[in-house]
Structure 1
Amino acid sequence: MDPTSITDINFHRPDESTFRPLAGFQNAHLQTLLPRILRRRVRLQPYWQRLTLPDGDFVDLAWSENPAGAAHKPRMVLFHGLEGSINSPYAHGLIEAAQRRGWLGVVMHFRGCSGEPNRRERIYHSGETEDASYFLHWLHTQWGRAPTAAVGVSLGGNMLACLMGKQGNDCLLDAGVVISAPLMLEPCSVKLEQGFSRFYQHYLLSRLKQNARRKLRAFPGTLPIDASLLKRIRRLRHFDDAITSRAHGFSDALDYYRQASALPLLHGVRKPMLIIHAKDDPFMTDDVIPTSRQLSASTTYQLTANGGHVGFVGGTLLRPQMWLEQRVPDWLENWLEQ
């Protein structure tokens, strides 16, 4: 499907929300890599908290401040991407942006992504919504009700879209933002095996394998593979075949990709949701671009010409700007500042 032919999707086009790439840096790969250069330093000093899950495992929470003294503030939850964390440029950048607005920000690290291996056989994947759902219920029970929104980035964006699509009006969130999400996992997996995109596959796979080795050393037998077989894995699809799918009850990677893709669930979203994609995203294909019939009435879809994968760097060479750190809080303000 040619995205330039789509005219009936609910695009959001006010001047202040339009993305204009940094002059001379429109290239998709430059946009994708620039935040790692410009946001290398983590200025945020998070307040850490460990949340025990019903099965005895845990997820680690990185708050913008101690929630005990900020429970009354509007809340912005962030779900990171594959092997991401509070140290990912988009994560600490968006949490700092929330903090500047006077909101309480928190990154819920998926199992095993905070630097310490998780204890159980389960890990995390693009459609695994149980931990996020439990966390959101815990958030309201522990700290009381307050306007609450979530931002999901890449894998975390697909997960958030799955959660909001499945839960409909029962979703505890007041709004959600989905950024650079692989809403159809199978074609995105194929894309990462082609051309320069193989660089990203190599980087992500090396992080996954490093994390898996750490888990095998700490908790032998908690992964459906041993160290010798892990070493021979060369593609993300093979990792998902050998580990992700088997750890979560899927028959293979293809079964996982088809069951965990969020695009077929978007029609069930009932709370306000903004989806942001770049047409030149090197992780994606046109298959992730929804048609108007696939979107619910509460969903706004924004497709930019440039931006790469979670890049969206604008401004000037002297003053580069992280567009997402303005666009996302501006949009969420409608629901968090009620």
Structure 2
Amino acid sequence: MSSLSTAFRRLRAPIIQYKRETIPTPDGAVLHLDHHNDNEQNEIALFMPGLTGSSSSEYIRPLVEIASSIGYHSIVLNARGTGNNRLQTPRVYCCANDDDLRTCLTHLRRKYPSNKLLAIGLSFGGIILSRYLSLTGNESEIDAAFIVSACWDFPVNCENLERLSNLPLNRYLTQSLIEIVEQNRDLFEHIPNVDLKRVCSSQTLREFDDEFTSRQFGFKNADEYYRESSNYKRIHRIKRPTLCLNAFDDMFSIGPTLPCDRIENESDHVAMLITERGGHIGFMDGLWPVSKTARPYYLERLAKQFLLAFYRDMDKNFLSNF
């Protein structure tokens, strides 16, 4: 199930009242952290939404509610330009750059030095999370991770997104990214090598990334950007207990491209759970999953088990055994 249809059908997402914190970045921008169940003594669950998502996204709010009910201090890291906020500088975000996550973690570790921190990344957020974990290894500021619907091999999956059946969702996400550019047009009008007319006429993610994202982050083109964004070759470098959830029918990360062999043969810290169906951040089940009486979706049930397992064992030095 696509992220668009998931957004339409996840009608049971709770209303979450956040407390917003704004922190500066080294390049003069700001990041917005939305807190729930804010208690300095609580262990931290850090959430990272999808490509154009935020703390208000329908797939984030149920997970925040679950984590907070267990006892976590839930924090959502909103990417630049998302979460009802304009950009402060002419820079957005991309799958091949984890600077903002590092800024966030430095801030949280300074503010909560003794709290365990579990990170949950979905789609784009999962890509950034896997990148950070694979690049930092044993130096990671994260104690454990749950990665949902991440794309591990971009070139093949981007071709899949350009198939006729997937173009509506591709164009929807492209338009969502264009809207961020349009809302901050004054910041981008004088950037070298960026033609805003061509950017805003993009019909696919590849066209947008060719005209905008790759140029913002110093790549020659979208192909080079996609190669650098693919984390499957680095997955063995992850040194924190990490659970990955993917659906075999996810159009963003189709089954044959999932790094199962690499995890099985090269990694001691990563496990991947693959469902036959579930689409992209969908994982709904039952005959009528949108019913008010339907049980929680599979994603929420699994997340709850994962969050509970670590929460119960944190005071027993469970994480130190990895």
Fold equivalence (TM over 0.5): yes
- Give the 3 Å change call, closer, same or farther, for CA 119–157 of structure 1 in structure 2: same
TM-superposed CA distance for 1:82, in Å, is 0.7
Q: What's the CA shift string for 1:238-264, capped at 9, x where partnerless?
A: 110111111011111011000111111
The equivalent position to 1:251 in structure 2, one of 220, 244, 257, is 220
1:61 matched to 2:61? The reply is no
Report if the CA contact (8 A) 1:64-1:105 is conserved. yes
Alignment correspondent of 1:189: 158
The letter of the residue matching 1:304 is T
Q: Is 2:13–2:62's contact at 8 Å kept on the other side of the alignment? A: no
**Runs (5+) with no aligned partner, structure 1:** 1-27
DSSP-derived class of the 1:63 partner: strand
User: CA distance change for structure 1 residues 323 and 332 in 2, over 3 Å: closer, same or farther?
Assistant: same
Structure 1 contact 97–326 (Cα < 8 Å) conserved: no
Deviation for aligned residue 1:188? 1.6
Match for 1:51 among 23, 34, 41? 23
- Residue 33 in 1 paired to residue 5 in 2? yes
What is the match of residue 209 of structure 1? Answer: 178
Q: Which residue of 2 aligns with 1:17?
A: none
Q: Secondary structure at the match of 2:118?
A: strand
Following the alignment from structure 2 to structure 1, what is the Cα–Cα distance between the partners of residues 192 and 115?
38
Aligned partner of 1:305 in structure 2 is 276
Q: Can you list the C-alpha shifts for 1:216-237, whole angstroms capped at 9, x where unaligned?
A: 1356435853442223211110
Alignment of 1:93-112 (within 5 A): 93-112=62-81
1:144 lines up with 2:119 in the alignment = no
Residue pair 1:192, 1:198 contacting (<8 A) in 2 also: yes
Q: Which of 118, 136, 139 lines up with 1:167 in the alignment?
A: 136
> Stretches of 4+ moved more than 6 A in 1?
none
Report if aligned partners of 1:48, 1:62 keep a CA contact under 8 Å in 2. Answer: yes
Provide the identity percentage.
25
CA distance in 1, matches of 2:179, 2:97: 21
**Residue 56 (structure 2) aligns with:** 87
How many Å apart are 1:185 and its aligned residue? 1.3
Q: Please state if 1:326 is matched with 2:309.
A: no
75-84 vs 327-336, greater mean Cα deviation: 327-336
| Superposition deviation, residue 198 in structure 1 | 0.9
* TM-score calculated relative to the size of structure 1: 0.85
Q: What is the deviation of 1:155?
A: 1.2
The correspondence of residues 284-303 of structure 1 with structure 2, limited to 5 A, is: 284-294=253-263, 295-303=266-274
Displacement after TM superposition at 1:38 (Å)? 2.7
Q: Does 1:234 align with 2:206?
A: no
The letter of the residue matching 2:305 is D
* Contact 1:83–1:208 (CA under 8 A) maintained in structure 2: yes
Following TM superposition, by how much is the alpha carbon of 1:157 offset from its aligned partner in structure 2, in angstroms?
0.7
**1:307–1:313 contact (8 Å) kept in structure 2:** yes
Asked if residue 200 in structure 1 is aligned to residue 175 in structure 2, the reply is no
Which structure is higher in RCO with an 8 Å CA cutoff and minimum separation 6?
A: 1
Question: 1:258, 1:222 → 2: CA distance?
Answer: 24
Change (3 A) 1:89 1:174: same
Give yes or no for contact 1:154–1:182 (8 Å, CA) kept in 2. Answer: yes
> For 1:101 and 1:40, how far apart are their aligned partners in 2?
19
The amino acid across from 2:308 in the alignment is E
**Number of aligned residue pairs:** 307
Sort the Cα spacing of 1:224 and 1:156 in 2 relative to 1 into closer, same or farther, 3 A.
Answer: farther
Query: How big is each residue's C-alpha offset from its partner over 1:241-290, in whole Å with a ceiling of 9 and x where there is no partner?
Result: 11111101111101100011111110101110001110111222235311
Q: Distance in 2 between matches of 1:200 and 1:61?
A: 28
C-alpha distance in structure 2 between counterparts of 1:64 and 1:113, whole Å: 18
Is residue 90–residue 187 contact of structure 2 (8 Å, CA) maintained in 1?
A: no
Q: Please name the residue that 2:310 is paired with.
A: 335
SS where residue 107 of structure 1 aligns? Answer: strand
The 8 Å contact of residues 194 and 215 in structure 2, kept in 1 or not, is answered as no
Q: RMSD value over aligned CA atoms? A: 2.0
Deviations 1:289-320 (A, max 9, x none): 11333451111110111111100112453433
Q: Distance in 1 between matches of 2:178 and 2:143?
A: 36
Which has the higher mean CA deviation after the structures are superposed, 48-57 or 117-126?
Answer: 117-126
Unaligned 5+ segments in structure 2 are: 315-322
Structure 2: how far apart are the matches of 1:326 and 1:216? Answer: 41
Change (3 A) 1:322 1:188: same
